[in-house]
Amino acid sequence: MPGKIRSAEVDGKKEMRKARASGRVLFLHRGGAMNIKQIKIEDIIPYGKNPRKNDVAVDAVKNSIREFGFKVPIVVDRDGVVVTGHTRLKAAKALGLKEVPAIVADDLTEEQVRAFRLADNKVAEKSEWDIDLLNEELQEITDIDMTEFDFEIPDFTSGIEEDDLGYYGDARERTNQAYNLEEFDETRASGFYQMPTLKACNHIPDRLIGFNYAKSSQDKKAGIHFFIDDYQFERVWNDPQSYIPILKEYDCCLTPDFSLYMDMPMAMKIWNVYRSRMIGQLMQDAGIKVIPTLSWAEPETFSFCFDGIEPGGTVAVSTVGVMRDKEAMAVWKTGMDAAVERIKPKNIVCYGSAIDYDFGQANVKNIAARKFGDGA
């Protein structure tokens, strides 16, 4: 059968000739054919001293496995410890897979295993993209969203006459698209920084799942939250119209929680609040029940971070990590005081641990944060 992988301890050259004749695929090492097995994830042991930091790539690998299947086996040593494939293992666990294909490199010495583990990662660093050829390939892929795999898709606009573009040419058009300027309506903005406005929504979700599970989850009665790392939902800002139909399938959607770290430049904090409101407004225009996510930093941010939110509706806030740090708790309570006074929310959805705070007249819905890998 074409494409079938066979495992056998046989003479390499002889078996390879047979494989070519029958269309089978074999991986060979010096001792013969290399075993590729389906191994239970629980039996695979991550290497405790792995020097490669790979968390940032897990989401893209998850998307790759989901789209194409598990095509590249994990390599483990004779004891089941990962030699190469830590990122694939993390992605598989996050996807809830029970088994994964693995190659058992039992022909390598302990020193060779250590060397291979480092060399495999180092070799990848030597490769470079031919940008022109890459863009040609990306242009040919029309039905698969390559941003899911961390590719930046260039603007392939061509053949437009200069007279049709006006004074600014197509550069202005690309700028409008990159910053979603065509979506901005100054008549639907408020505050000095013209934050897009959101209509009050009184809906309260029963449960929430993270945006990173929006494409795969079957729990359409849940709401979508963005209390995850920014890089996992930056693509929503880059191409909102591609993701709004996906989000529309769910019960409701919180606005993106773009970070407002204390040490960020103030301009970036303003920009992130603007982006959250803009995406929220686009979702609301599409008929999605939208709950504004509250986010703030130091008191100086109070002059803009609540702009655009109509008083008297439901808002959402995260308490994740707040109670572990006294300073974080103080910042949270100070900001919450300002939010309650300014917005006067009817309902507050608290994502994370219940917190000792007087929310006044607001109805509070606590939703526990789920652990990584269980559909959070």
Name the domain boundary from 141, 176, 211.
176
pLDDT for position 168: 52
- How wide is the angle at C-alpha 320 spanned by C-alphas 86 and 273, nearest 5°? 100
Rg (CA), the chain: 25
Question: Sheet of 82-84: strands edge to edge?
Answer: 36-40, 99-104, 74-76, 82-84
Question: In the beta sheet, which residues pair with residue 363?
Answer: 347
Report how far residue 146's alpha carbon sits from residue 152's, in angstroms, rounded to the nearest whole number.
Answer: 8
Q: Is residue 351 a contact partner of residue 340, using CB atoms and an 8 Å limit?
A: no
Question: In the beta sheet, which residues pair with residue 74?
Answer: 102
- How wide is the angle at C-alpha 191 spanned by C-alphas 186 and 193, nearest 5°? 75
Mean pLDDT of 219-224: 96
Report how far residue 27's alpha carbon sits from residue 173's, in angstroms, rounded to the nearest whole number.
Answer: 50
Between 333 and 137, the higher pLDDT residue: 333
The answer to whether residues 286 and 300 belong to one domain is yes
pLDDT in tens, 156-203: 544 444 454 455 556 777 788 889 999 999 999 999 999 999 999 999
pLDDT at 7 over 50: no
Least Cα distance to 85 among 112, 59, 58, 56 occurs for 58
pLDDT in tens, 50-91: 888 888 889 989 998 988 899 899 999 989 999 999 999 999
pLDDT in tens, 133-162: 888 888 878 778 888 887 877 655 444 444
Res. 20 pLDDT band, cuts 50 70 90:
very low
pLDDT at 125 over 80: no
Q: What's the distance, CA 133 to chain centroid?
A: 27
pLDDT in tens, 292-308: 999 999 999 999 999 99
Q: Which residues contact 192 (CB under 8 A, 6 or more apart)?
A: 303, 304, 307
Question: For position 113, which CATH number holds?
Answer: 3.90.1530.10
Report the residue count for the chain: 376
**Domain containing residue 317:** 185-367
Q: Is residue 70 a contact partner of residue 77, using CB atoms and an 8 Å limit?
A: no
The answer to whether residues 117 and 140 belong to one domain is no
Q: Is residue 254 a contact partner of residue 226, using CB atoms and an 8 Å limit?
A: yes
pLDDT for position 340: 96
Percentage of the chain exceeding pLDDT 70? 84
The answer to whether residues 140 and 243 belong to one domain is no
Report how far residue 251's alpha carbon sits from residue 221's, in angstroms, rounded to the nearest whole number.
Answer: 5
Q: Is residue 274 a contact partner of residue 196, using CB atoms and an 8 Å limit?
A: yes
Kindly tell me the sign of the dihedral angle through the C-alpha atoms of 104, 110, 114, 120: negative
214 residue type, one letter: A
The answer to whether residues 121 and 141 belong to one domain is no
The answer to whether residues 99 and 146 belong to one domain is no
In this structure, is residue 374 part of a structural domain? no
The answer to whether residues 246 and 100 belong to one domain is no
pLDDT for position 306: 97
Could you give the 3-state DSSP secondary structure of residue 40? strand
In this structure, is residue 6 part of a structural domain? no
pLDDT at 11 over 70: no
The answer to whether residues 137 and 107 belong to one domain is no
Mean pLDDT of 314-343: 93
Q: Is residue 138 a contact partner of residue 153, using CB atoms and an 8 Å limit?
A: yes
In this structure, is residue 7 part of a structural domain? no
DSSP secondary-structure letter at 293?
B
In this structure, is residue 86 part of a structural domain? yes
The answer to whether residues 157 and 63 belong to one domain is no
In this structure, is residue 375 part of a structural domain? no
Reduced to 3 DSSP states, what percent helix, strand and coil does the chain have, rounded to the nearest 5? 40, 15, 45
In this structure, is residue 68 part of a structural domain? yes
pLDDT at 33 over 80: no
Q: Is residue 117 a contact partner of residue 123, using CB atoms and an 8 Å limit?
A: no
Between 216 and 312, the higher pLDDT residue: 312
Res. 24 pLDDT band, cuts 50 70 90:
very low
Between 18 and 83, the higher pLDDT residue: 83
In this structure, is residue 244 part of a structural domain? yes
The answer to whether residues 67 and 136 belong to one domain is no
pLDDT in tens, 285-295: 999 999 999 99
In this structure, is residue 191 part of a structural domain? yes
pLDDT at 10 over 80: no
The answer to whether residues 119 and 137 belong to one domain is no
The answer to whether residues 58 and 151 belong to one domain is no
pLDDT for position 1: 32
- Tell me the whole-structure pTM to 2 decimals: 0.58
Q: Is residue 42 a contact partner of residue 127, using CB atoms and an 8 Å limit?
A: no
* Least confident interval from 87-91, 99-103, 119-123, 366-370: 119-123
Q: How many C-beta atoms lie closer than 10 Å to residue 191's C-beta? A: 16
pLDDT at 43 over 90: yes
Q: Which residues contact 232 (CB under 8 A, 6 or more apart)?
A: 59, 210, 211, 212
Give the pairing of strands 290-291 and 252-254: parallel
The answer to whether residues 162 and 224 belong to one domain is no
Q: How many domains is the chain built from? A: 3
pLDDT for position 148: 82
pLDDT at 346 over 60: yes
pLDDT for position 9: 37
pLDDT for position 159: 47
Mean pLDDT of 93-109: 92
Q: Which residues contact 291 (CB under 8 A, 6 or more apart)?
A: 201, 203, 205, 223, 252, 253, 254, 255, 313, 314, 315, 316, 349
